[in-house]
């Protein structure tokens, strides 16, 4: 289980907020946190017409900010928990339907390991 937690949670607050989706959702959550308007996501005080995604992630980020304060941990924790839940579902499906623990374990670790190096390489290429 430790092998699952390390890639998801070890450096969750170490790197700055990434451009585009992560930063835009973070601004939506920050403005929602301060305005108290939990129905309409805003950007620069205006309704966000660019972001057409359902606001569940933004709501989760607002709840996380209320619990942890305004920081990278609070912004990324809902995504990390969703990834943890996804890995648990992959493992459950592999054990229950495929009847092979190692298939689920390898699938789960593949999902975790492949996301982290892409993030670090992407980060160094953009701002390097």
Mind spelling out the 3-state secondary structure of 39-108?
A: CCCEECCEECCCCCCCCHHHHHHHHHHHHHCCCHHHHHHHHHHHHHHHHHHHHHHHHHHHCCHHHHHHHH
CA angle, corner 58, sides to 56 and 59, nearest 5?
Answer: 65
Evaluate whether residue 23 is within a structural domain: yes
Evaluate whether residue 90 is within a structural domain: yes
Evaluate whether residue 1 is within a structural domain: no
pLDDT digits (tens, 9 = 90+) for 57-112: 999 999 999 999 999 899 999 988 888 888 788 788 888 887 877 777 777 676 66
Of 26, 24, 33, 28, the closest CA to residue 66 belongs to 33
Evaluate whether residue 97 is within a structural domain: yes
């Amino acid at each position: 289980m430790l092998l699952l937690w390390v890639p998801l949670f070890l450096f969750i607050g170490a790197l700055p907020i990434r451009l585009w989706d992560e930063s835009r959702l973070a601004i939506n959550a920050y403005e929602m946190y301060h305005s108290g308007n939990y129905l309409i996501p805003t950007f620069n005080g205006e309704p966000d017409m660019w972001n057409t995604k359902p606001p569940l992630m933004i709501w989760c980020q607002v709840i996380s900010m209320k619990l942890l304060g305004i920081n990278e941990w609070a912004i990324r924790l809902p995504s990390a928990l969703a990834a943890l839940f996804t890995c648990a579902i992959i493992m459950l499906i592999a054990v229950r339907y495929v009847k092979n623990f190692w298939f689920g374990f390898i699938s789960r670790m593949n999902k975790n390991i492949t996301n982290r190096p892409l993030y670090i390489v992407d980060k160094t290429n953009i701002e390097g």
